C-alpha cells in the first residue's frame, strides 16, 4: 500500500459555472476539486489550507468508513473543530474498500458553494471487477444557486423564513448553462467554464461511468440519449447488473454504470440531468456525449430527451427494488437485530422558526465536538437525555399535516451497544403547511455501510412481522438511501466502528434545519484523539504548544 499525498488550498474565487458569475469555493482553483485516485489500503493524506479569509471549513470523506480514525471524518461539531481561516489541517485515513466515493464541505451550507469532489479507489494489482470495460470516466452531478451560502443560510434561520427555493441550474461536472438567451452584466456567455461538459467516447468501446450526486436539494434522473446503462456498482458495492434508460440518483449516492458506445458514430448525443420528486423550475442540465472523432463542441442534431415525469414515484421505487447484492460480493445481514429505531421525518416549528425533525426532535450541534466531549466526559456540552427510539405511530397520521407541528431542539445522541445490530426505519410524512405534499429525503450514515432491507408505501407497521417486507437474502449495502414521499425505508447496520457518527438527510438545507441524529459506539475502545481536532468551544485550553 502507498501513501497518497495531496496539498490543497481552499478559497473563494469568481467562477461562471453556468455562465453566471458568482463566488465559488474552490480547491486549488477548481470546482469540482481534484479526484482522489488511490488503491485499496492506501493511506490518503490531505494537507488542507483554509484560505477562505473569513470562514471556517472542514471536509468530509463521504463513504470512507474511517476505521480507527473517526477524528478524520471531517464533520464540524461531531468529529472535529472547524479549521479556522489561515490554518492548515492534515487529514490522514486509509481507503479500505474499492469503489466510488465523494468528498465535500461539512460546515454550514458550504457544500452548496462548490466544495466537492470524487474519490476513486481501485482494486489491488492483479484483481479485477466482476465486469469488464475499456475506459473509466467519472462525473459529479450538482445543483447550483446564485445566492451566496450566507444569504441562503440567513434566510433559513430567520423568523421570516426564506426557503432556498429551486436551484438556478443543474451542473454536470461543474458546468451548466443559465445564461443562454439572457442578457445581464453577470452573464458571461462566451466563458469556457460554462460550455457543456464533454464525455468523449470511441465508437464500440465500453465505458465505466462513475456518477456521484452532491446536489444541495434536487433528486435527479440522469440519462444519455439513445444509450442504455447497466448499473454495476452502488456506493462502493457490486450489485447484480441491471439495465436502465435513466438512472435516479439522490444526493450522496454514487453509481457506476457501463455504457457501450454502440450508436451511430456520425454524431454526438445529449447527456441530461433532470430534477425529479419536486415540481421544479430548474432547467435540465446538459452535457455532450461525444463520439470521437466528431468535434466535441458540436451540438447533437436532436432535442435533448425530456426525462421521466417528476412526480412518478413508481419507477423510483422500482429502481430501489431492482438493486440486489451481486452474488459472492456482499455478505447477507445478521438475520435479527438487537434494536429498532423508528425515525419519523417531519417539518416543524420551534418558537416560530421552521425546522426539520426526527421524532419531533430537531438537531442542534454543540459548539464542542461530540467526539471530544464523549471521550473526555464533558457531560455539560450536550443534552444527556437520550433521544426517542420511535414516535407515537398509533396516533400519528402520516398522510395529513400534523395537528401540532411544534418540536423541540436537542443535542442528545444515540448510544449504541458496541457490535450490536441496529435497524433504522425511516418514516416519511406529510409536510407542515401543504396538503398532499411529502418530500424525498436521502439519508446518509457516516462511518458504516448498511443493508437496505426494504422500501414501502404508507406507514410502517412496527407490530407486524418485518420478515414479510424485508429482503434478508441479498440486500445491497449502501451509505446513502432515499425515503420516498409517504413511504418508509428500512436499513440495518452493525455498530462496529468506534466513534461518533452523523446520520442525516443529505439535503443540505434540511440537515442545516436539524434533520439528523448522531450515533456513538465503542468510544471507550478508542485511543487518544489528535490534538489538531481541538481548538473550539470547551477545548480551547487544549491547544498547547
Ligand atoms: Cu455527504 Cu454528512 O455527508
Ligand atoms: Cu431531507
Q: Which residues are within 8 A (CB) of 150 and not within 5 positions of it... i.e. 6 or more apart?
A: none
Q: What is the pLDDT of residue 264?
A: 97
Average pLDDT of span 273-295:
95
Average pLDDT of span 284-297:
96
b vs e for 351-387, b when ≥16 Cβ sit within 10 Å of the residue's Cβ? eebbbbbbbbbbbbbbebbbbbbbbeebeebbbeeeb
Give the SS3 label for residue 373: helix
Q: Is the pLDDT of residue 189 over 90?
A: no
DSSP 384: -
62 lines ligand 1 (CB under 6 A): yes
Q: How far apart are CA 333 and CA 492, in angstroms?
A: 8
427 Cα–ligand 1 center, Å: 20
505 lines ligand 1 (CB under 6 A): no
Average pLDDT of span 441-448:
98
Contact 175, 196 (CB under 8 A): yes
Q: What cell was used for 172? A: 454536470
Distance set, CA 449 to CA 4, 452, 488 (Å): 24, 9, 19
Q: Is the pLDDT of residue 94 over 80?
A: yes
328 Cα–ligand 1 center, Å: 29
Q: Which residues are within 8 A (CB) of 245 and not within 5 positions of it... i.e. 6 or more apart?
A: 223, 228, 229
Question: Residue 188's pLDDT band (boundaries 50, 70, 90)?
Answer: low
- Mean pLDDT check: name the lowest of 98-107, 135-144, 311-320: 311-320
Q: What is the pLDDT of residue 141?
A: 98
Contact 153, 69 (CB under 8 A): no
3-state helix, strand, coil in the chain (%, to 5): 10, 40, 50
Contact 407, 358 (CB under 8 A): no
Tens of pLDDT, residue by residue over 488-507, are: 999 999 999 999 999 999 99
Contact 425, 463 (CB under 8 A): no
Q: What is the pLDDT of residue 540?
A: 79
Q: What is the pLDDT of residue 195?
A: 86
- DSSP of 482-514: EE-TTEEEEEEEE--S-EEEEEEESSHHHHHTT
Choose among 27, 10, 237: nearest CA to 121. 237
Q: How far apart are CA 188 and CA 194, in angstroms?
A: 9
Contact 100, 254 (CB under 8 A): yes
148 Cα–ligand 1 center, Å: 20
Contact 36, 117 (CB under 8 A): yes
Ligand index nearest the alpha carbon of residue 445 = 1
Q: What is the pLDDT of residue 180?
A: 62
Cis preceding linkage at 328, omega within 30: no
What value of ipTM does the predicted structure carry?
Answer: 0.98
Q: Is the pLDDT of residue 545 over 50?
A: no
Q: How far apart are CA 390 and CA 535, in angstroms?
A: 36
Give the SS3 label for residue 1: coil
504 lines ligand 1 (CB under 6 A): yes
Q: What is the pLDDT of residue 544?
A: 44
114 Cα–ligand 1 center, Å: 14
Q: What cell was used for 246? A: 435513466
Cα Rg of the chain, angstroms:
22
Q: What is the pLDDT of residue 194?
A: 81
Ligand index nearest the alpha carbon of residue 105 = 1
Q: What cell was used for 389? A: 427510539
445 Cα–ligand 2 center, Å: 14
Choose among 287, 203, 292, 208: nearest CA to 255. 208
Q: Is the pLDDT of residue 522 over 60?
A: yes
Q: What is the pLDDT of residue 83?
A: 98
80 Cα–ligand 1 center, Å: 14
261 lines ligand 1 (CB under 6 A): no
Tens of pLDDT, residue by residue over 457-474, are: 999 998 887 778 899 999
106 lines ligand 1 (CB under 6 A): yes
252 Cα–ligand 2 center, Å: 12
Residue nearest to atom 1 of ligand 1 (CA): 62
77 lines ligand 1 (CB under 6 A): no
Q: How far apart are CA 139 and CA 134, in angstroms?
A: 17
Q: What cell was used for 315? A: 419507477
Residues paired with 48 in a beta bridge = 8, 89
Q: How far apart are CA 163 and CA 301, in angstroms?
A: 38
Contact 370, 78 (CB under 8 A): yes
Choose among 263, 177, 280, 178: nearest CA to 227. 263
Task: Give the CA dihedral 308, 309, 311, 316, nearest 10 degrees.
Answer: -20
3-state secondary structure 246-285: EEEECCCCEEEEEEECCCCCCCCEEEEEEEECCCCCCCCE
Choose among 344, 345, 361, 459: nearest CA to 406. 361
Q: What is the pLDDT of residue 186?
A: 67
Q: What is the pLDDT of residue 435?
A: 94
Distance set, CA 251 to CA 127, 216, 346, 479 (Å): 30, 7, 19, 11
Residue % of the chain over a pLDDT of 90: 90
Q: What is the pLDDT of residue 462?
A: 84
Q: What is the pLDDT of residue 403?
A: 86
- DSSP of 1-68: --EEEEEEEEEEEEE-TTSB-EEEEEETTBSS---EEEETTEEEEEEEEE--SS--B-EEEET---TT
| pTM of the predicted structure, to 2 decimals | 0.96
Q: Is the pLDDT of residue 270 over 80?
A: yes
Q: Which H/E stretch holds residue 241?
A: strand 237-244
Q: What cell was used for 383? A: 443534552
Residues paired with 9 in a beta bridge = 49
Closest atom, ligand 1, to C-alpha of 102: 1
Q: 246-249 and 254-260 as β-strands: parallel, antiparallel, unpaired?
A: unpaired
Contact 26, 50 (CB under 8 A): no
> What are the phi and psi torsion angles at 369 (to 5°)?
-55, 140
Q: How far apart are CA 315 and CA 321, in angstroms?
A: 10
Ligand index nearest the alpha carbon of residue 518 = 1
Q: 99-105 and 116-122 as β-strands: parallel, antiparallel, unpaired?
A: antiparallel
Tens of pLDDT, residue by residue over 45-69, are: 999 999 999 999 999 999 999 999 9
Average pLDDT of span 198-224:
98
Amino acid at each position: 500500500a502507498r501513501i497518497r499525498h495531496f496539498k490543497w488550498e481552499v478559497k473563494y474565487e469568481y467562477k461562471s459555472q453556468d455562465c453566471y458569475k458568482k463566488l465559488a469555493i474552490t480547491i486549488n482553483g477548481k470546482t469540482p476539486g481534484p479526484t482522489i485516485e488511490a488503491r485499496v489500503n492506501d493511506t490518503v493524506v490531505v494537507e488542507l489550507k483554509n484560505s477562505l479569509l473569513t470562514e471556517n471549513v472542514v471536509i468530509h470523506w463521504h463513504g470512507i468508513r474511517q476505521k480507527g480514525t473517526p477524528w478524520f471524518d471531517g464533520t464540524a461539531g461531531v468529529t472535529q473543530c472547524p479549521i479556522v481561516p489561515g490554518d492548515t489541517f492534515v487529514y490522514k485515513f486509509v481507503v479500505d474498500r474499492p469503489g466510488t466515493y465523494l468528498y465535500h464541505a461539512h460546515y454550514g451550507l458550504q457544500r452548496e458553494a462548490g466544495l466537492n469532489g470524487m474519490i476513486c479507489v481501485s482494486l489491488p494489482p492483479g484483481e479485477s471487477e466482476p465486469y469488464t470495460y475499456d475506459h473509466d470516466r467519472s462525473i459529479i452531478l450538482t445543483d447550483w444557486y446564485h445566492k451566496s451560502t450566507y444569504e441562503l443560510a440567513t434566510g433559513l434561520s430567520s423568523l421570516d423564513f426564506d426557503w432556498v427555493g429551486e436551484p438556478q441550474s443543474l451542473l454536470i461536472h461543474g458546468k451548466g448553462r443559465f445564461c443562454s438567451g439572457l442578457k445581464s452584466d453577470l452573464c458571461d456567455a462566451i466563458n469556457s467554464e460554462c460550455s457543456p461538459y464533454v464525455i468523449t467516447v470511441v465508437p464500440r468501446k465500453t465505458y465505466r461511468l462513475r456518477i456521484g450526486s452532491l446536489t444541495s436539494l434536487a433528486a435527479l434522473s440522469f440519462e444519455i440519449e439513445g444509450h442504455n446503462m447497466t448499473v454495476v456498482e452502488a456506493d462502493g458495492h457490486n450489485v447484480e447488473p441491471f439495465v436502465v434508460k435513466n438512472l435516479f440518483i439522490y444526493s450522496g449516492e454514487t453509481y457506476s454504470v457501463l455504457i457501450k458506445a454502440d450508436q451511430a458514430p456520425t454524431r454526438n448525443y445529449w447527456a441530461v440531468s433532470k430534477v425529479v420528486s419536486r415540481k421544479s423550475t430548474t432547467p435540465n442540465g446538459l452535457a455532450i456525449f461525444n463520439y470521437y472523432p466528431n468535434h466535441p463542441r458540436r451540438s447533437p442534431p436532436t432535442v435533448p430527451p425530456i426525462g421521466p415525469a417528476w412526480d412518478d414515484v413508481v419507477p423510483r421505487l422500482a429502481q430501489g427494488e431492482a438493486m440486489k447484492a451481486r452474488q459472492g460480493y456482499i455478505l447477507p445481514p445478521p438475520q435479527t437485530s438487537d434494536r429498532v429505531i423508528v425515525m419519523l421525518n417531519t417539518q416543524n416549528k420551534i418558537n416560530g422558526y421552521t425546522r426539520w425533525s426526527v421524532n419531533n426532535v430537531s438537531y442542534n450541534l454543540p459548539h464542542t465536538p461530540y467526539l471530544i466531549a464523549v471521550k473526555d466526559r464533558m457531560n455539560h456540552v450536550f443534552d444527556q437525555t437520550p433521544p426517542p427510539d420511535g414516535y407515537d405511530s398509533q396516533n400519528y397520521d402520516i398522510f395529513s399535516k400534523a395537528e401540532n407541528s411544534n418540536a423541540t431542539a436537542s443535542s442528545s445522541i444515540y448510544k449504541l451497544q458496541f457490535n450490536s445490530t441496529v435497524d433504522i426505519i425511516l418514516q416519511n410524512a406529510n409536510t407542515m403547511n401543504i396538503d398532499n405534499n411529502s418530500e424525498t429525503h436521502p439519508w446518509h450514515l457516516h462511518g458504516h455501510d448498511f443493508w437496505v432491507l426494504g422500501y414501502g408505501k404508507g406507514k410502517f407497521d412496527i407490530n407486524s412481522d418485518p420478515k414479510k417486507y424485508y429482503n434478508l437474502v441479498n440486500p445491497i449495502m449502501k451509505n446513502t438511501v432515499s425515503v420516498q414521499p409517504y413511504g418508509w425505508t428500512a436499513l440495518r447496520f452493525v455498530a462496529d466502528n468506534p466513534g461518533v457518527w452523523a446520520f442525516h438527510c443529505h439535503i443540505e438545507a434540511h440537515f442545516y434545519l436539524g434533520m439528523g441524529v448522531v450515533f456513538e459506539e465503542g468510544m471507550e475502545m478508542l485511543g487518544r484523539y489528535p490534538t489538531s481536532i481541538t481548538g473550539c468551544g470547551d477545548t480551547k485550553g487544549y491547544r498547547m504548544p
